[in-house]
Structure 1
């Protein structure tokens, strides 16, 4: 051992996978790469900045030629920062075009299903769908004991950020709220009649495998810009909102595309039905604000639809009503 020798100095030139700061460092480097590529490839840089989640890029354009050019530009920008795209997946054949900087990129074609940010995407049909895991809807058996913990675990197993299954999941949320009201413990076995209700609900969950939604928000043939239609309503148990795009096709025909939906259970502290309907209106306004910020399509008009009776609440008569309504009008 040469104790009097000057120590050698080694330095890592890449981020070590598994280090705690590695995800943050990778994202910072990615944003910096997009910033540096803005001058030569502004659209590709915008996609990298806005349409990327961790290590997945998810974006869309109107034509195949635009898609081919955009993928090449993204490859060029990312290669400038030392990033490499593993593969491109598209609902249309991009003719195998890749940039000179990334000739080894694989163009994935003829693939039936692919996960896109947790949602199953059928590449051939260009549709979103569900794949409910078998353990999410187990059959009742002699050894099966239903508890609040197991039920919540199965409900949480359904990933639905857009709200495709909002109408179904709200039934499960209402059921969970009832268990809370009854004071049921986490590992306490549920009564037979309650367990039977949950068994039927989880059996219904199987039908989610047959539910599909078109990925594209625009039909193949349309005339002009669409109308954005936002619905909201409430009951004594829950309230929610959903958003659709209504396209004119010509010859007095129309096409409607689902955009997003949200639902929420009513609070345990009971509210009047008109106030719950106002909560639904607030949810609709928030959902519209989020969609307006993210959606790049131009719309001709925005129409909010709700129970006409609660609209009159926006003109309060008493001081107490003024305090409540001012909050909702502010939203």
Structure 2
């Protein structure tokens, strides 16, 4: 009779010691399971019931039995074997298993090591390099377990040769080698597809699980009761997260860490990152063989930020410690030698702290810096841009995270230019050609055609397919718009039937931006015309204008300097109800060559009213102060005595000790000189002619209207 008893939950066996720390590390078993090409898994049939309990210890396993009748007086029974539910059962059964294996350590050291290190409770997971090696090792392990009364069953492997050598029942064999469309095999909490040698729903989905932890923390922080309804925001976030869970079925991760067991220089690269909500660490193994490099994801770890507010630099430091501990744990568990460890962070504060004296910082920072310096080298810590930090996915969770399996198409959102996208896609296809020796023709014809693409502009076919599948839910081919010129000859299909592109997709933006630069950032209509020869998109002309308006080169070219604002007019320019020339500005201009007996120079002096802009013109014989004072006396005698005079502070004016403000009279000087240039002779100018010309200019300027006078008809 096999009965499941949860003694620990019911409180019957609280005094039994939990010795789960004597078991092999679950992470270590899973990591070593991924190291080599040929893998196998199995479990021991009813392992706990194969371990008998001594008569003296059986009273500790007492239980009451009513046989389903609550009115019946319970009878007392004892378990004579280890039972499920007892906290000590896994450790004791593991101890008996290992003691049984240690009897053969001298004869079969490899098999004993495999049993002790790669068995978690009753599940044995092992990976080796060849099928023959696995057959021999598995047969030895099976024989050692059988000598202790443990029966191994449910053999599963990615090698049909191994299964045929281990299983006698052909019907059971068909269940172990599964096709691609059959259910997965459960192995220590993860799903394994032996036929494709892929893992799914692994603990590597930390970037997805962290969002649920953040939501639960926010709910806890809101202080609502157990029976209270969630807030609208928390309920929406939780429902959105649940809707994305179904997408996890598409995740596929290669079980075997390629070349890790064959390379002589395996490298471990750890990426760390933090935000206000969480901090995360991701570990990759890098293997290089015959000039080719392969990187594989090993493990990830995410944690929610503390309830107490912590600054971002300190969160980044906590992420660095988390990454260091994760890398240390993985290095301890892997069986291959790690040649070099490298830690990557996008926080320059952390790099500065690591390279500084820890004693000058506060305790939280100092203790973590001390741990980092004790367990790693300073030179192993490096900086990486945030855009290239893969740990960023675990800390900055978006509303639409990328949850999908392996893909041969780069993320279009990470590119700003079409040429770079084409180049990256070409590198991806080159890699696929190298690792794909033979393309399967049963359902793989599209892949075969894709691998034959060579030119960069041919990469657009792949992007267009992805674009239309995302926006139009189309999987039947490239969508085209139907026209009326199908009978035309000598033109491409794209001209007859242009390809349909969504207005707001990143690919459409990249195509428009590429043609905008191709035609030198000018003539939007040319860009529209060239695009419409191959593509059709709603609002294309508006999109071209948008690209042109946001183009940095176009914005720089169209930029015009902004003139500075003009200052307020001085009080002298705004004094109404005052006689002309109450506030006067004065300036010299010239000289003009006049003929007396010989050629002499004369300067014109301009007096202008700062309020009504009237002018008074006179002639000065020199630039001296005495000459100016004579002209000033003449002006006062003919007009009036100004209350205040302003000049440009020339040396001839300093004797009058006046202020400087020349914008007003400089404009009048320009108007005067413009008229004089039209009426004065080119040579032989006499003083009388100059004086008469100044009088005429004065009359013209003073006859101007003070403001615009519209004609009323």
**TM-score normalized by the length of structure 1:** 0.78
Q: CA RMSD in A?
A: 2.8
2:366 to 307, 325, 331: 325
Flag structure 1 segments of 5+ consecutive residues without an equivalent. Answer: 1-10, 131-159
- Which of the numbers 284, 296, 313 marks the counterpart of 2:353? 313
Deviation at 1:16? 5.7
SS at match of 2:279: strand
Q: Does 1:237 align with 2:237?
A: no
CA contact (8 A) 1:16 1:22 kept: yes
1:54-102 residue CA offsets vs partner (Å, 9 max, x unmatched)? 110011111111111110110121122111111321111216224xxx9
CA contact (8 A) 1:15 1:22 kept: no
Partner of residue 151, structure 2: 84
- Whole-angstrom distance in 2 between the partners of 1:218 and 1:117: 22
**CA shift in 2, pair 1:328/1:204, >3 Å:** same
Aligned to 1:96: 164
Instruction: Give CA-to-partner distance per residue, 1:152-204, whole Å, 9 cap, x none.
Output: xxxxxxxx5xx311001111111111111111222321233432222111111
- Which residue in the other structure is 1:127 paired with? 198
Q: 1:34 to 1:230 in 2, by over 3 A?
A: same
Correspondence list, 1:176-215, <5 A: 176-215=216-255
1:274 aligns with one of 299, 313, 316 = 313
Assess if the C-alpha contact under 8 Å between 1:236 and 1:273 holds in 2.
Answer: yes
Q: Residue in 1 aligned with 2:331?
A: 292
Distance 1:124 1:114 in 2: 10
Pairwise CA distance, 1:309: 2.6
Match of 1:149 in 2: none
Rate the CA distance shift 1:275–1:290 in 2: closer, same or farther, 3 A. Answer: same
Aligned partners of 1:288 and 1:26: how far apart in 2? 31
Report the more deviating stretch, 81-90 or 66-75. 81-90
User: Normalising by structure 2, what TM-score?
Assistant: 0.38
| Whole-angstrom CA distance in 1 between matches of 2:131 and 2:163 | 9
Task: For 1:67-82, list aligned pairs within 5 A.
Answer: 67-82=134-149
Cα 1:86–1:327 shift into 2, 3 Å: same
Tell me, yes or no, if the aligned pair for 1:226 and 1:245 is still in contact at 8 Å.
Answer: yes
Which residue of structure 2 lines up, in the alignment, with residue 15 of structure 1? 81
Distance 1:82 1:182 in 2: 55
1:51 — aligned with what? 118
* Cα shift at 1:23: 4.1
Aligned residues: 286
CA–CA separation in structure 1 for the residues paired with 2:261 and 2:328: 27
Q: Is the 8 A contact 2:281 2:319 kept in 1?
A: yes
* Contact 1:44 1:74 (8 Å CA) reproduced: yes
User: Whole-Å Cα distance in 1 between the matches of residues 263 and 89 of structure 2?
Assistant: 48
Q: Distance in 1 between matches of 2:118 and 2:283?
A: 21
Decide whether the 8 Å contact of 2:358 with 2:365 is kept in 1. no
1:140 is matched with none
For 1:63 and 1:318, how far apart are their aligned partners in 2? 53
1:304 Cα shift?
Answer: 0.9
Corresponding position of 2:93? 26
Could you say if the C-alpha distance between residues 25 and 250 of structure 1 is closer, same or farther in structure 2, counting changes exceeding 3 Å?
A: closer
Secondary structure of residue in 2 paired with 1:96: helix
**Are the structure 2 counterparts of residues 305 and 24 from structure 1 closer, same or farther at C-alpha, using a change threshold of 3 Å?**
closer
Which structure is richer in relative contact order (CA contacts within 8 A, separation 6 or more)? 1
Equivalent of 2:186 in 84, 93, 115: 115
Once structures 1 and 2 are overlaid, which stretch shifts more, 46-55 or 103-112?
103-112
